[in-house]
Amino acid sequence: MAIIIDENTRLIVQGITGNQGRFHTTQMLAYGTQVVGGVSPGKGGQEVEGVPVYDSAFAAVEAQNANASVLFIPSPFAKDAAFEAISAGIKVLVIVTEHIPVHDEMEIVEYASRNGTTIVGPNTFGIVSSGKCKIGIPPNQFFIEGPIGVVARSGTLTYEIVGNLTANGMGQSTVVGLGGDRVVGLSFVDVLEKFEHDPQTKAVVLVGEIGGNAEEMASLFIKDMTKPVVAYIAGKSAPPGKRMGHAGAIIERGKGTFNAKVEALQAAGARIATLPFEVPDLLREVIG
């Protein structure tokens, strides 16, 4: 098991002939992901790392029976590419692109939800079902198979935490990057719900950050979960009114503070790691 993607996922890469698209296609293939096609309008018929390139997502899906796609497309063109993937019948769409205008993001998410497509991102490192399939950009060597589900808003911080898990012999079922923008396709609750029902997942690590109310909403769900949750919230030392890199990571009008999130999560029964490296010890305590 695992959630959202697994060994049967058939992936196409939109923007496969660009630098990032090419590099990460190689990396994903090396991880074992079934990359079955690439899309680059006008470059159909070429190959990248042995992967056939098509002129459109429709052609790629038709030829390869693909069910997932990842976008390595510059932000001004991301909406078009996302609409194309959804329209071509893609069921899991990972949008790595950052700096997509938020109005475009709202339209993408709305169109996806009407067509039953799961959006991971935008502005995400992607998603890894460890040992089975990686879609996105995280470094391969830190993701090993195991019982821990991880859901996060931020990329490198997730590598840090997953790296710590792996160093402690704790593998992961699936690691999901929600994305750092204010509007993203999946919420913590969407993913927690899937982990709760996934037989492989025995415990969940939630990596949140200041701003918004996603962690507070998550705590309402965690209250009723049977599986233990360990949470780390980044931004304890962040001043209010300043955007800490992510569009969503800002304390506005006294809302979205570190303390409010930690209190909500603690009240729901989650264990809180004060610093990233404390996560493995807390997990050991909750799963024995």
Name the residue with tokens 């996560």: 279
> Rounded to 5, what percent of the chain is helix, strand, coil?
35, 25, 40
Task: Tell which positions 169-188 bind another protein, by CB under 8 A.
Answer: 180, 182-185, 187
- Residue 116: count other Cβ atoms within 10 Å of its Cβ: 9
Annotated catalytic residues are: 246
d(CA 64, CA 87): 16
Burial of 30 (0-12, 13-18, 19+ CB in 10 A): exposed
Nearest approach, Cβ of 19 to another protein (angstroms)?
9
Asked if 107 is part of the footprint of another protein (rule: CB under 8 A), the reply reads yes
Spatial contact of 201 and 229, defined as CB atoms under 8 Å apart = no
Spatial contact of 86 and 68, defined as CB atoms under 8 Å apart = no
Spatial contact of 262 and 272, defined as CB atoms under 8 Å apart = yes
Asked if 110 is part of the footprint of another protein (rule: CB under 8 A), the reply reads yes
Choices 38-46, 150-158, 190-198, 223-231 (CB under 8 A): range interacting with another protein: 150-158
Fill in the per-residue mask, 217 to 236: x = in contact with another protein (CB under 8 A), - = not in contact: x--------------x-xxx
Task: Tell which positions 45-104 bind another protein, by CB under 8 A.
Answer: 75-76, 99-103
CB nearer to another protein: pick between 131 and 248 = 248
CB nearer to another protein: pick between 61 and 73 = 73
Asked if 269 is part of the footprint of another protein (rule: CB under 8 A), the reply reads no
Fill in the per-residue mask, 4 to 43: x = in contact with another protein (CB under 8 A), - = not in contact: ----------------x-----------------------
- Choose which of 8, 224, 275, 288 interacts with another protein (CB under 8 A): 275
d(CA 110, CA 119): 10
Burial of 255 (0-12, 13-18, 19+ CB in 10 A): middle
d(CA 53, CA 36): 9
Task: Tell which positions 239-268 bind another protein, by CB under 8 A.
Answer: 239, 242-249, 253
CB nearer to another protein: pick between 92 and 244 = 244
Nearest approach, Cβ of 95 to another protein (angstroms)?
13
Asked if 209 is part of the footprint of another protein (rule: CB under 8 A), the reply reads yes
d(CA 179, CA 121): 4
Q: Is the peptide bond before 122 cis (omega within 30 degrees of 0)?
A: yes
Choices 35-43, 83-91, 191-199, 210-218 (CB under 8 A): range interacting with another protein: 210-218
Asked if 156 is part of the footprint of another protein (rule: CB under 8 A), the reply reads yes
Nearest approach, Cβ of 276 to another protein (angstroms)?
5
Q: Which long-range contacts (CB under 8 A, 24 or more apart) does 75-79 make?
A: 75/99, 75/100, 75/101, 78/104, 78/108, 78/122, 79/104, 79/107, 79/108
Nearest approach, Cβ of 103 to another protein (angstroms)?
6
Task: List contacts with another protein (CB under 8 A).
Answer: 20, 75-76, 99-103, 106-107, 109-111, 114, 125, 137-139, 152-160, 163, 180, 182-185, 187, 207, 209-210, 212-214, 217, 232, 234-239, 242-249, 253, 274-277
